Chains A and B, each alone.
Chain A
Amino acid sequence: MEYISYLTASLMLLLMGMVFTSFIKNKSVSGMVSLIITSFFSGFILCFSLKLILKNTVLEYEFFSLSPLLNSSFQVFVDSLSALFLIIIAIAAFCVTMFSWKYLNAYKIYSAYRFYPFLFLLFISSVGIVIIRDLLFFIFFWELMTLSSWLLVISEREKREALKGGLQYFIATHVATAFLILASVILYSYSNNFSFIEIRKALSILIENNMLLFNFICLLIFIAFVTKAGVLPFGFWLPNTYPQAPSSASSFFGGVMSKLAVYALFRFFLSVIPFSSNTQIWGFIIATAGVFSIFVGTIAALTQDEAKRLMSFHAIGQVGYMLLGIGTGLYFINTNPFLGMIALTGGLLHLFNNSIYKSLLFLNAGAIFYKTGTTDLNKVSGLIKVMPLTTMTAIVGSLSIAGVPPFNGFVSKLLIFESSIWTAKISNASFLIKGIFIISGIISVFISAITLASFLKFVNSSFMGKLKTLRNDKKDIPWTMTVSQIMLAILCLITGLFPIIPLELIYKAILSVSEIQLPAFSEIFISNFAGIGINFCPNCLYGGAWFPIFVIFSVLIFSLLIFAFEKYAQAPKRDVDTWYGGKEHTPEEVTYTGHSFYQPFKDLVSFKIGKIKFRGLYPSEFPSFKVSVPLWIKKIINPDEWLYYPVANKIEKLFNLIEKLYDRLIQHYTFLFIIGIVLVILLVFYLLGG
């Protein structure tokens, strides 16, 4: 019972925050209020979910029911998977709110009540999606999330791009929601109840009777969630939309919102839709969609020159990694549970790590915006001199997203690579399937080099080089912004150095969801004090363990060694100017801008098909195409032409005529007046005499 009070308290806090901030116009007051409220919320939620996971319990509670009207109820169900996502939401929400406090001052025309209430609404709906076990309320929260994030996207509505991006987002996600509603209506007609349990029962009947309809429902659900997650080709809206919101909101979008779509996919395909031979097919489809968006999304990211747009493309690519892991897992979980579990764990671990470093990177972009007023990589450089701590966190984030050891992306990417390549050893899979999975693995290895390249471009062109003019010449950014970035960077490092902590949480989460018999944690992952090892099959030899902590030790020892050498040699030091090959130049003349990076490679992946230009495999310019409609349709759909204007013109003419009567000299008026009076008198006499 105490669990539910934690949950209601935190939801009440968020509601309170939403109401309070709607009335406060001052940015810093509003920011402080929301920071206080969010820190309490995060504390409650972290406490609650960690307790839940550690005690291995499940929270079930029904708030109210729509029973006489519809078979649906507000049913809260928090298992370890939901608790895992609650942890993610709590961390991201706290850092995002802390960052926003001072960050919003970067926007001149921007009042606080355009931002905070919607942010709180977004938090509420995120929590709602995770804890609910009823399709109707799930859709309600889903729609609430879409709406609040849309309001955040268009919150800077003076900008034309924001409105355009917002419109794309609105249309794309609502089409997706329509798919979801269609699926739910079909399901309701079979199950007569919106609860996930009843739906599962209905679906298991449906598998036996009507395979086609079952697959159609799966397709609807798949498209609905994949559109929100931003998987190509359904995620075309994402790079135009995410950069338009204020950076702290984009950070929550990239770190949590697109991950919630992956959560929904995971929840539906693993626990709502029963296991069958179809699970394999859908696993394969999910994995292929993932690889496609890894490949195209990340290569397109390499060609971007705008920091937040670059990160948005990476959001597409990174979601692809998760889907690859989850898809491989779904494909093999029945036939080969060891491999399936490793792939699923890899996918979810990548999700967990991604939510940390993705939030961090968007916050870095926000810090750049705060300092310089732009996030265009061609216009900023040398920021390490004014914000060294932000630079360090940006480097940590970049190395994490590229999966460089010992940061946190490494282990999760390793699990995804290995599980997709290990399919070669599975005897009962066909040659083609194995080939596709292995090629996916190789593509993801190659793409992680591209990820690194594009983030080195981000770091090199924004933080390194000569310092350019700044918007405000204070030395560093406000401490709240720095602290929130540092917290996330430290989390990146901790989860990288002790991967066993998130791994165990995630393993419990998967076990709590799935209903088939799965191997225990200790059978697959061999863990000791600081390292992990894995087994790919029940009788495999133990293959050693990955000790990230020792990497740090050796790095320290070697650095000491070399620094000692430098001190021993006692080389004299001198400050000099940059050498431009003997000529004198101003730094502006010779800057190497972000656009120039990797130009030959960009040329290699840019081409033209017909009239559509592809930059980095991604269509960048569409020819302005015109739809030719027959003339009579145009006439019909334009009633102004044939109804309103003619009538209006006639009436106008009539009034003009009447007006002309009065448009005379005053003598005419008196003349008419006298004639009128004479006529009236004559009439009166005639009547009286008559």
Chain B
Amino acid sequence: MNTSWIILSALINIFVVLFLSPFFDGFTRKVRALIQSRVGPPPLQSYYDILKLMGKEDLKSTINPLFRISPYLSVISIAMAALLIPITDFNPPFNFWGDIFLFIYIITVVGIAIIITASASENPFAYVGASRKMMLHLSVEPILAIALITGAINAGSFKIGDIVTWYYSNGPNVSMLLATVCVFLSLQALIGKIPFDVSEAEQEIAEGVLIELSGPKYACVKWANMSKQVLFCLVFSQIFIPWPMTENFLLNTIIALLKVTIIIFISTLIEALNPRLRIDQALKYNLTLAGFSITAIFLALLGV
């Protein structure tokens, strides 16, 4: 664990989560187009979108300074969360005695940034979107928390690195499998894609939280959303399916990317084949799942 390794692995994490995310988004768009019998945009289209938006006119609907700052905060907090995910090794670049909770809080900050942007924009549609986003977040957060706590009870440590190491060496047990299934079932809600994209529903509330954004700010929030997809797919693939893991950090990264591609493919299939849920349906789904996932904790307490 020396400094150069930490820096290298942090750079790889940020590269994968932030700078490869438009590529994965392009991949998603291509897959969706193929399902719907279209040709679809080229794979690098999302990079072009972001670069183009950076130079577009920045419309300000308010003098509120928070409206200017908080879109950037969303990208920053995604980058911070990326540093807590193990990609190159069992251990992420940064870890301490409570990083599962830190991770949960940092992804909360992503939500806070977007909610504050939305409400600072003064648009009623954005308010509706913000309210829905917060509800979705508070219903889906317990599932992830319970799954990580199950891992923590099994591994006897609150560090993501230790949980992954334990899971890798001791193999799946009933409680961890249950937690994995629960996280998989809540993956769409964590990412915020159909059927859970209620806060940005185009047809109902005209992109909700994003309605007043334009130019660089829109680029940032769009980028944050793309990166969020990669981040949560990485959480699922690296923490809850840690196999296979090798000694070589480059090989590990490539394996992680492959796993993420598969998961994004599955998630896109779900997205393309399902309708959007209403917010009350989404809430009930998530809270039921959260209640169900508490079983995993009791199983972990029993040691199975």
Contact = CB atoms under 8 A, between A and B. Distances in A.
A592 B72 CA distance: 25
Nearest to B99: A544
Nearest to B126: A592
A452 B60 CA distance: 27
Contact of B101 (A417, A453, A554, A590): A417
B123 A554 contact: no
Contact of B145 (A405, A445, A587): A445
8 contacts: A402-B108, A410-B105, A442-B146, A546-B102, A562-B76, A563-B72, A598-B131, A600-B279
B152 interface: yes
A574 B58 contact: yes
A384 interface: yes
A591 B61 CA distance: 15
A543 B159 contact: yes
**5 A-B pairs with the lowest CB-CB distances in the bound complex, closest first:** A592-B127, A544-B96, A543-B97, A460-B119, A569-B54
Given A543-B97, A558-B76, A581-B125, 18 more contacts: A384-B64, A384-B66, A385-B63, A388-B65, A404-B105, A413-B101, A452-B108, A453-B134, A453-B137, A460-B115, A546-B102, A555-B80, A566-B54, A574-B58, A578-B212, A592-B131, A598-B135, A603-B280
A576 B63 CA distance: 10
Interface stretch (B229-237, B245-253, B261-269, B295-303): B295-303
A558 B77 CA distance: 9
Interface stretch (A136-144, A307-315, A431-439): A431-439
B97 A439 contact: no
Nearest to A542: B97
Contacts of B54: 565-566, 569, 571
Interface string A397-435: 001001111000010011001100100110000010011
A483 B211 CA distance: 36
B149 interface: yes
Given A442-B142, A543-B159, A558-B76, A573 B57 contact: yes
Given A566-B216, A571-B58, A464 B120 contact: yes
Given A442-B146, A562-B75, A592-B124, A576 B64 contact: no
Interface residues of A, number: 79
Given A442-B146, A460-B127, A546 B97 contact: yes
B81 to A, nearest CB: 12
Contacts of B215: 571
A473 interface: no
Nearest to A449: B138
A441 interface: yes
A596 interface: yes
Contacts of A450: 138
Interface residues of B, number: 77
A572 interface: yes
Contacts of B300: 424
A446 interface: yes
Nearest to B220: A562
Contacts of B109: 404
B20 interface: no
B56 A464 contact: no
B283 A449 contact: no
Contacts of B158: 418, 421, 543
Interface of A: 382, 384-385, 388, 395, 399, 402-405, 410, 413-414, 417-418, 421, 424-425, 431, 434-435, 438-439, 441-442, 445-446, 449-450, 452-453, 456, 459-460, 464-466, 531, 533-534, 543-547, 551, 554-555, 558-559, 562-563, 565-566, 569-581, 587, 590-592, 596-601, 603-604
Interface in B77-120: 79-80, 95-98, 101-102, 104-106, 108-109, 112, 115-116, 119-120
B198 to A, nearest CB: 10
B112 A438 contact: no
B181 interface: no
B204 to A, nearest CB: 11
A598 B124 contact: no
Nearest to B91: A544
B206 interface: yes
Contacts of A569: 54-55, 216
A382 to B, nearest CB: 8
Nearest to B1: A544
Nearest to A557: B76
A579 B220 contact: no
Nearest to A554: B80
Contacts of B72: 558-559, 562-563
Contacts of A414: 98, 101-102
A545 B279 CA distance: 39
B278 to A, nearest CB: 8
Interface string B131-158: 1001101110110011001001100111
A421 B127 contact: no
Contacts of B220: 562
Contact of A596 (B106, B131, B142): B131
Nearest to B80: A554
Given A431-B301, A572-B58, A604-B280, A544 B105 contact: no
B12 interface: no
A604 B291 CA distance: 14
Interface in B36-72: 54-66, 72
Contacts of A578: 61-62, 121-123, 212
A445 B57 contact: no
A599 B294 CA distance: 26
B287 interface: yes
A464 B298 CA distance: 43
